[in-house]
Structure formats: structure tokens, C-alpha cells
Amino acid sequence: MGKRMRTLYFDCFCGAAGDMIVGALLDAGADFEALRAALESLATDGFTVEANRVTKKGIEATHFRVVVDPSVSQPHRHLRHVLEIIEQGALPDSVKSAAAETFRRIAVSEAEVHGTTVEKVHFHEVGAIDSIVDVIGAHLGLHLLGIERVESSALPVGFGAIKAAHGVMPVPAPATAKLLEGVPVFGGDLEGEWVTPTGAALIAQLAAAYGPLPAMQIEHVGYGSGTRDAPDRANVLRVLIGETHERFAATGTVAVLETNIDDMNPELLPVLIEEALGAGAHDAFLTPIVAKKGRAAHKLTVLCAEDRADALARTILLNSTTLGVRMRVESRVCLAREWKTVETPWGQVRVKYGTLEGKPPAPAPEFEDCRALAAKAGVTVLEIYQAALAAAVQGKE
């Protein structure tokens, strides 16, 4: 058995939102005065925070609320403005890093949806001071509770349409759907938006695994109230905290698609990999092989989610000369992982960490970040990669 870990489980039976997450953490024992003092240190004015006891369909819960002073101007913000607010606050370094990563995730999703760059993304609802406070408060609450691992149930996102800054949007909203890539979701039977962008960003970032409640010795249970009332259930988010044994972050299955290709222009093989990745493959790669009659050939292997297997098979058949694709499902395990940001002389680089049985994390700088900085600074990718790796090993966030 691995070491014991203080684990928090999000039971999202009625969705998730930033204020619900903070409320649930406070209800489970996070110190409100410590949280309030840290939030009041943020480099912005015009708000206070409250935590009130409420009853939702017979369940006692904590309603966390950001009270905004209407007389203080709160402009629309870009990512750099939000990051400045986070960085200048009197917050633990780990909380600053985690909160900054949440907003980078939001910025990336907005940029992809609206066809712009991360730097030009103009935050609307999620750039408002209440959303900023919710995100920071969520990471701070986890820090105060000493949480080492987070797991979550699948998310009921709702259905229908909502009005947003850009007009009427389907549920989940495009940016929210982008944030939830790789997260188990379902529509459920409640009309409307029941997972907000901040809720989606936080759960997707924090949860190392999804599924039913893991085996644990429960120590604390907390309920965070939403603002609306659901017609037939309590609009609350439940968290359960207890000790679990460290284990692999996720166990499950993956679809494996393979085909042998011996009659295709080699110049087109890299395009085939790009098409597979663009169609949603987890990974795609080629292996040189010797085929029948001694022919030089390549074996294409594509890994994807089971529900994407048919679409990926079609992509392979359309973009190659093969006449058939082998398909099977295999079990897999994944290490617990998290993203952090490190500083280099040329700018910030995201780094992915994986852990196994309590051993020190194995950092891996994000190649695309390194390549973008290298192109901008006129240095080699290797220089930036090595600098980011050194910063990660030394714990410079």
C-alpha cells in the first residue's frame, strides 16, 4: 500500500460553481477569517466576502458570497490584469501558482473558441471580481485544509441555452465545454447552466480522477450552497474529506487503433498523425516494420477514448491508403499529475509533474511553451527547455 493521503472528493450531484466550491470548503472546516484576511490583501478594491448558513431542501449548507460595491468601478480585464491581482496578494506561493493556472486555462479556452490569442482574450463574466475571488478562495480553502489529492464525480452540466456577454449560448457554453475536455459529464434533467465556467475550470484542474467516492475514512463533510434553487433537489455541492491510500490517479480503458501501411508516400505520413491528433486522439505514432514480401512499411498506432474510436478510424481511412483498421480496447493506469508554472529568463513555462508512491515529482516542461518563447527570443528551444527543467527541479514557481 502507498502512503496515506488527505483526499477531498467533490460530489457534484447538482453541478458546480466557484462560490459553491468555496462554501463547501468553509463548511468542511476551512478557516473563514484566514480566508477573508488573505482575500482582503488582493490588489483591488470594492468587495467584501460573507459566509452565511442557509438551508437548501432540508440540507444545511454554507453560502459563500462576494459582495461587490456598485460605486467602485470594476473594468473588464485581460489575463495579465488578473495575474497581477493574484501575484500582488498576500497569498501562499502554491495558491498563487494554482490560481494563475486556472485563469490561464480559462484564457486558452476563450482564445480557442473566439479565434484569438491568449493575450487578447477579453474576460467578461470570469474577469469580474467575484469570479477572481471565487477562484483564489477555492485554492486557498484547499491549502487551509491541507488537501493532498482531489477526486470528483462526473459533472451534470444541464441543458438548454443561457444569455452571456456574447449573446445566447448553448449549455454548456462553448468555453465551458472546452474547459471540460477530458472530464466525464452528462446533461442531466435540469434545464439551464449548472456547471459555471469557474466551476468547470477548477474541477478540471484539481481532480486527479473521476468516478464514485473512493475508499476513505471520512473525517469531514461540507456543503456549499448555490445561489439558485433547484425544483426537486438541494442546489448544493458536497465535499467529503478523509484519508486514502495513494494509488494511480486513474484506471480505465483506452481504444487502440492500428494499421500497416506499405504503399503510401512517406511525405504524407506526418500529415496522417496530425489529422489523427486533430480529430481527438490522445496520441498517434508510427513504427517502422517489415511487412509481407519483405516490404518496408510503417505501423500506425492511434490511442483515443472509446467513444472516439469510430471517428478516428474514419480519419485514418480518409487520410491514408490503408483498406482496414484494427481496433481493440486495453486497460491502462495513469500517474497522478498536476501543472505548475516556472519562470525562465525568457518568460513563463508550464511544467507537468507526475508522482508515483510518494516519490519526488518528475517534471516535464511544456514543449509548445518553450518553442513559442524560443521563437520570440531568438534562442534555441533546448536552452529554454533546460532552464525550465532546472527551475522545476529547484522548485522555483
Chain segment 377-396, per-residue pLDDT in tens? 999 999 999 999 999 888 74
356 and 272, same structural domain? Answer: no
Task: Kindly report which listed range (46-60, 187-201, 220-234, 336-350) carries the lowest average pLDDT score.
Answer: 336-350
Q: Provide the pLDDT for residue 359.
A: 64
Q: What CATH number is associated with residue 268?
A: 3.30.70.1380
Cβ–Cβ < 8 Å for 5, 246 = yes
Q: What is the average pLDDT across 214-243?
A: 94
Among residues 294, 311, 334, the one where a domain terminates is 334
Q: Provide the pLDDT for residue 96.
A: 95
Does residue 36 surpass a pLDDT of 60? Answer: yes
349 and 206, same structural domain? Answer: no
Element (H, E) at 61: strand 59-68
148 and 72, same structural domain? Answer: yes
All three cell numbers of 133: 475571488
Host domain of residue 363: 336-393
Among residues 247, 267, 288, the one where a domain terminates is 247
Does residue 126 surpass a pLDDT of 60? Answer: no
Q: What is the average pLDDT across 344-370?
A: 82
178 and 99, same structural domain? Answer: yes
Q: How far apart (Å, rounded) are the C-alpha atoms in residues 381 and 45?
A: 41
**Domain count for the chain:** 3
Q: How far apart (Å, rounded) are the C-alpha atoms in residues 51 and 116?
A: 38
Find residue 222's DSSP bridge partners. 239
pLDDT band at 247 (very low <50, low <70, confident <90, very high): low
Of the chain, the end-to-end C-alpha distance in Å amounts to 31
Find residue 155's DSSP bridge partners. 185
Task: Identify the burial level of 224 via C-beta atoms within 10 angstroms of its C-beta, where 0-12 means exposed, 13-18 middle and 19 or more buried.
Answer: buried
Give pLDDT tens digits for 46-62.
899 999 999 999 999 99
97 and 23, same structural domain? Answer: yes
290 and 202, same structural domain? Answer: no
Residue 34's φ and ψ, nearest 5 degrees, are: -65, -40
374 and 319, same structural domain? Answer: no
Strand 347-355 and strand 362-365: the pairing is antiparallel
272 and 198, same structural domain? Answer: no
220 and 86, same structural domain? Answer: yes
Among residues 307, 334, 361, the one where a domain terminates is 334
All three cell numbers of 60: 444545511
311 and 166, same structural domain? Answer: no
364 and 236, same structural domain? Answer: no
Which one, of 158, 201, 160, lies nearest residue 182 by Cα? 201
Mean model confidence pLDDT for the chain: 89
Give pLDDT tens digits for 257-307.
999 999 999 999 999 999 999 999 999 999 999 988 898 999 999 999 888
372 and 310, same structural domain? Answer: no
